[in-house]
Structure 1
Amino acid sequence: MANEAAQADKEGQPTPAHRVPAMTRYMTTTLLAQAEVAIALAEISEGVVPSAALLDALGIDRSGCEAINALLVSELPPFASIYLSLDGNIGGESQAEIAGFYRAISVKVPPNPDYLSSLLYLLGQIIKKEAEVVDGETARSRAIEIAKLTLLRQHIAPWLVPYLQRAEQIAGADASVWIALTLDLIASILESSEVPTPKQPIDEDLDQSQIESFANSVEFIDWITSPLLSGVIVAPSDLVSIAKSLGLATRIGRKRFVLEGLFQQGGRELLAAIGQFVAEQGDLYLSRSSEFEVLQSWSKRAIITHKRVLATLAPY
């Protein structure tokens, strides 16, 4: 776990990955520094290894770059649309909405506009423009700031903050500084604005919804494979771990395919185990929601999912 391997602070307590080590925290305190860090983080998430000097400044070594690449490729694909769409798939309306943002600020839409590296690079370029504004250009400065905050609040923070909490659990110590820097970059920008991150439309629906049991495994799989609905991000390694704990065999393939195979072997026990996993994720998000308001929404959705699992198990 990244938390356990993180650097100790002055009191000897472990430093969570969402707190950047003192040697690198200064890097996100100015606009130009924020821009440079955002672009460097984008390059690393694209699989590009920066220069040795930049890696040293960031506090990331080559093994860290390899760990990050493995995380993004094998465990947590960093497409915003997966985490912002009801079906949990790449593309769709959420990707189209992000592409529309590029067009709105007159930037060419890249092949994968919702991919993490594309979004971080765009954020870095916007911040760089903001830093270059000269005194007296109030209107231009405000327009750039609005673009930056819109990108961060609507298209990055709502999914990347909870995503990085999961990344911290899965990736281990090698990726902890990259995770910490990315979270600190988000926090440093949000802290400079008094306007809170807007609620997701799904939250309004869930506030008024009744806690109902899942009708069958198909409905549950539809729900749990949608991070937007369930409030949890399930990685392939999570399913392998749960299956191993229950003595079940796992198939290789997409999460839906794997879950279908697992439910054929152990329905009730599997549902209970996933329910426990969901509860733990909800607790994790709630424990860090004072730092990132968006985690309150994810915690609420995870709690609802857990209650639905309990309601499904109750009759048995």
Structure 2
Amino acid sequence: MELFRALGSLIEAPSPEQVRVAAALGLPAAPSPAEHGRVVGQQRYPYASVYLGAEGMLGGEARARIAGFRRALGLEGQPTGPSESGDGASTGTVPSREPDHLAALLGLLAALERWRREEADPARMALLTQARTTLLWEHLTSWTGPFLATFERCDSAFHRRWASLLEETLAHLCGDVEFPDYLPAALRAAPGFADPRREGGAAFIGALLAPVRSGQIVLRDDLERLGGDLGLACRAGERRYVLNAFLAQDPGRTLAWLADHAAEWSRRVAAKGPPPIAAWWSKRAADMSALLKELAAEAQPGSTTRPPDPAMDDAGSRGDRSASTRTVQ
């Protein structure tokens, strides 16, 4: 279980300790601050709320669920992260206001396993075992499959190997855990995607960029690839702004590209994590792909039905700027 704590420390901001941890795990050299910022800090946000929240934003109900779980364990107000091991060892901490950070969740997982090993009372042992199951099912494997999949094609050897090792380690642990026969609460409660023909362009873009609603993750790197593939001008700015610009330039081909991306994403996550969770993410991405294909066909020249243009929506690119302080787009 110390492996989980070590892996969690490696997704935090670079520190001298990471160099030693990476070497001990046989990983490539730890990233520089610039590489960490480019790969993680600017687009792969390691917070459960970004992937499980209906708006794809930091905080909200997804973070509140995790905070409530910590309260139930009697950990409210205590530091999150590696220091929860109780052995004085720490490779860095995550502020308690961010209990949904991956490092905090992995640190708590390691702590729960330590407490289980040290517990002599069978009743308390059973409670700690149930807490570990809840943490894994509700707050970790519910989103780490898609999140870790985003590292598969990044240009950082360190992050590719780190993600692969964490995925393997979680899968090994989950093989010994009896999970519930129902989906995690965040997935059960997740709203569907927004059809721009009924809900408008701004709602459509927002849902497209919220992983739990669209079933996929659209990175900044993906949008740059979209622009390159279609020969469209890729403007600097938040993802909403960039998508609005693409849709204004060529709505049909942009929607078709996004449909293919969602279909590919459905295949990529189909085996990521426990089967019921992986199937949920895969189906949601496949359904999103079907909607995007339909919208792309309607946006083609000569079509009698055209979807709303998100770039012209009153909550489109102008509203994107005003929301930048509270989103991760």
TM-score past 0.5 threshold = yes
C-alpha contact (below 8 Å) 1:87/1:222 kept by paired residues: yes
Structure 1 residues 65 and 49: CA distance shift in structure 2, 3 A = farther
Please point out which of 106, 109, 132 is paired with 1:123.
109
Secondary structure in 2 matching 1:250: coil
Structure 1 residues 43 and 253: CA distance shift in structure 2, 3 A = same
Structure 1 residue 275: deviation in Å? 0.9
1:309 aligns with 2:292: yes
C-alpha contact (below 8 Å) 2:22/2:28 kept by paired residues: yes
In the superposition, the TM-score normalised over structure 2's length comes to 0.76
| 1:44 paired residue number | 10
**Which residue type is aligned with residue 124 of structure 1?**
A
C-alpha contact (below 8 Å) 1:231/1:302 kept by paired residues: yes
Q: Point out where structure 1 has 5 or more consecutive residues left out of the alignment.
A: 1-33
Q: Point out where structure 2 has 5 or more consecutive residues left out of the alignment.
A: 78-95, 304-329
Deviations 1:214-247 (A, max 9, x none): 4154343122111001100111110011011112
Secondary structure in 2 matching 1:120: helix
Q: What is the rounded CA distance, in whole Å, between the counterparts of 2:212 and 2:47 in structure 1?
A: 13
| 2:319 paired residue number | none
Please point out which of 84, 87, 90 is paired with 2:55.
87
1:140 aligns with 2:124: yes
C-alpha contact (below 8 Å) 1:213/1:312 kept by paired residues: no
Structure 1 residues 290 and 254: CA distance shift in structure 2, 3 A = closer
Secondary structure in 2 matching 1:131: helix
Q: What is the rounded CA distance, in whole Å, between the counterparts of 2:125 and 2:37 in structure 1?
A: 35
Please point out which of 170, 175, 196 is paired with 1:191.
175
Higher relative contact order (CA 8 A, sep 6+): 1
Secondary structure in 2 matching 1:306: helix
C-alpha contact (below 8 Å) 2:138/2:185 kept by paired residues: no
In the superposition, the TM-score normalised over structure 1's length comes to 0.79
Q: What is the rounded CA distance, in whole Å, between the counterparts of 1:153 and 1:171 in structure 2?
A: 30
C-alpha contact (below 8 Å) 2:232/2:249 kept by paired residues: yes
C-alpha contact (below 8 Å) 2:49/2:58 kept by paired residues: yes
Structure 1 residues 147 and 290: CA distance shift in structure 2, 3 A = closer
Alignment of 1:1-316 (within 5 A): 34=1, 36-47=2-13, 48-50=15-17, 54-63=21-30, 70-109=38-77, 110-134=96-120, 137-196=121-180, 198-200=182-184, 214-215=196-197, 217-286=201-270, 288=271, 292-315=275-298, 316=303
Structure 1 residue 303: deviation in Å? 0.7
Residue identity over aligned pairs, in percent, reads 28
Deviations 1:237-295 (A, max 9, x none): 10011011112122223221221222222211111111111111111122x25865421
- Count of matched residue positions in the alignment of Structure 1 and Structure 2: 277
Task: Looking at secondary structure, tell me which structure has more helix per residue.
Answer: 1
